[in-house]
Amino acid sequence: MPNYNRADLAFERGEGAWLWDGQGRRYLDFGSGIATSSLGHAHPHLVAAIAEQAGRVMHSSNLYRIPQAERLAARLVEATPFADSVYFSNSGAEANEAMVKAVRKYHADAGHPERFRTICFEGAFHGRTLAMISATGNKKYLEGFGPPVDGFDHVPFGNMNAVRQAITKETAAIMIEPVQGEGGVRPADLRFLQELRATCDEFGLLLALDEVQTGMGRSGKLWAHQWAGIEPDIMSSAKGIGGGFPLAATLAREKVAVHLKPGTHGSTYGGGPLACAAGNAVLDVILAPGFLDNVDRVARHLWRGLLDLAARHPKVVAGVQGAGLLLGLRLTDAVSNGEMQGAALSEGLLTVAAGMNVLRVAPPLVVTEAEVDEALRLLDRTCLRLTPSEAKAAAK
């Protein structure tokens, strides 16, 4: 079906932060398949774990115990202070569906089925299922798909007064991305996240975090909310959690998790042996001593480099924003992010466009400072390409 806008390009192999096309041309991957290939390409430990598990049991279903899932859940809970339980699925949208269903069931079981509404934010992205396009609220994604699923209210991102005004007797939860990814790599103020936590406590609401893009180490901590020193009641993770293998998780406090009793929710593939073998291999790498510190160090190096790039090319780059290795170049009105993404591709650098004319820069978490320097050189050439007069001046 023609639902994707693809570049005329395919990759034959990869290694770390690099990809090669059929003609042997090399690309530096600073998009990570939309912030997903957290360990880069062909990571030997991940490849071996998947191959080994595929040769034993690939799928058995949730009719039986799945030791790989039990181990992964125990490790995620151990590494995530607020979480007591995990539900596994296969994509970010599904992890969010489970999150919203759990939130609604929590209030219904407490005798308040009328409390089913979730407050969401303008500029959010929560996935493409019928309910999640409603949670996302973007008219472009809703158009033509019938009446939106009821139960999602939207307020401006970062506006605490609007949040408080939107709370009614029907409100069950507040759902937010600590950094809006698709919406333009917009970080929430850490104070705002702290105030949301306090407001949820004040009104008996659940705080639901969508860490599908920000989680699993991308921010330099395991979860982006840890920078704010807060804890949610429930949280979704996907993208980087499987290192490129489809896997998603919804982590919750016990008081929420207990309401998804047998029969209330499920997935045929969810938490299967192969996906969870991949998840465990990813965790082996991300939780290794010093790994997240290194992500933070390299991320700061990239951040400084992008600020420098913005200073040298004010006609192209208006600002830098984001967190950790989820950064965005806010472009000027003179350049569109699609144009810049294409120009970077011509220079051999893969990036991803985001909302609000932002170019997303999200390398694998295993990226090195030398590779960051190479990406900065390619971005510099990309900016020169987009400013012909500067290019001429530089050539002189």
Ligand X SMILES: *Cc1c(COP(=O)(O)O)cnc(C)c1O
Helix axes 44-54, 273-286, angle to 10 degrees: 160
Select the span of 23-31, 113-121, 124-132, 286-294 touching ligand X (CB under 6 A): 124-132
Is 336 labelled as part of a ligand binding site?
Answer: no
- Could you say whether residue 354 binds ligand X (CB under 6 A)? no
Name the minimum Å distance from CB 95 to ligand X: 8
Report the candidate in 307, 144, 334, 120 with the shortest Cα–Cα distance to residue 208.
120
- How far apart are CB 34 and ligand X at their closest, in Å? 6
From 56, 58, 231, 123, select the one nearest 222 (Cα to Cα): 231
Asked if 30 contacts 350 with a C-beta cutoff of 8 angstroms, the reply is yes
Question: Which candidate, 202, 210, 205, 196, places its Cα nearest to that of 116?
Answer: 205
SS3 241: helix
Per CB under 6 A, 17 contacts ligand X: no
Q: Considering the complex, what minimum distance in angstroms separates the CB of residue 395 from ligand X?
A: 40
Of 210, 233, 371, 374, the residue at the interface with ligand X (CB under 6 A) is 210
88 touching ligand X, by CB under 6 A: no
323 near ligand X, judged by CB under 6 A: no
Side-chain half-sphere exposure of 42, counting CA atoms within 13 A: 11
- Rounded-to-integer distance, Cα 270 and Cα 372, Å: 35
Q: Which stretch binds ligand X (CB under 6 A): 65-73, 113-121, 210-218, 343-351?
A: 210-218
Among 46, 173, 212, 235, binds ligand X (CB under 6 A): 212
Q: Does residue 321 interact with ligand X by CB under 6 A?
A: no
**Complex with ligand X: residue 316 or 362, whichever CB lies closer:** 362
Site for ligand X in 219-278 (CB under 6 A): 238-239
Nearest to 230, CA basis, from 199, 257, 256, 255: 199
By beta-carbon proximity to ligand X, the closer residue of 14 and 183 is: 183
Q: How far are the Cα atoms of 77, 201, 211, 252, 285 from residue 277, in angstroms, in the given order?
A: 17, 37, 21, 21, 13
Q: How far is CA 123 from CA 18, 178, 218, 273, in A?
A: 31, 12, 20, 35
157 is in an annotated binding site: no
User: Segment contacting ligand X (CB under 6 A): 206-214, 227-235, 343-351, 363-371?
Assistant: 206-214
- Which string of x and - marks every residue 355-394 that binds ligand X (by CB under 6 A)? ----------------------------------------
Contact pick of 14, 92, 271, 305 for ligand X (by CB under 6 A): 92
The C-alpha atoms of residue 385 and residue 292 are separated, in whole angstroms, by: 35
User: Would you say 180 or 382 has its CB closer to ligand X?
Assistant: 180
Residue 216's nearest CA partner among 75, 13, 111, 118 is 75
User: How many angstroms separate the CA atoms of 252 and 233, rounded?
Assistant: 6
Does 213 show up as a binding residue in the annotation? Answer: yes
Residue 94 Cβ vs ligand X, minimum distance, rounded to whole Å: 7
* 346 labelled ligand-binding: no
d(Cα 236, Cα 178) in Å, to the nearest integer?
12
Based on the shown chain and the rule CB under 6 A, indicate whether residue 134 belongs to the binding site for ligand X: no
- The binder of ligand X chosen from 37, 68, 91, 337 (CB under 6 A): 91
Exactly one of 107, 126, 221, 385 binds ligand X (CB under 6 A); which one? Answer: 126
Q: What Å distances lie between residue 353 and 185, 201, 283, CA to CA? A: 10, 36, 28
Dihedral over Cα of 298, 303, 306, 308: its sign: negative
Footprint on this chain of ligand X (rule: CB under 6 A)? 91-93, 96, 125-127, 177, 181-182, 210, 212-213, 238-239
Task: Report the binding-site residues for pyridoxal 5'-phosphate.
Answer: 92-93, 125, 210-213, 268
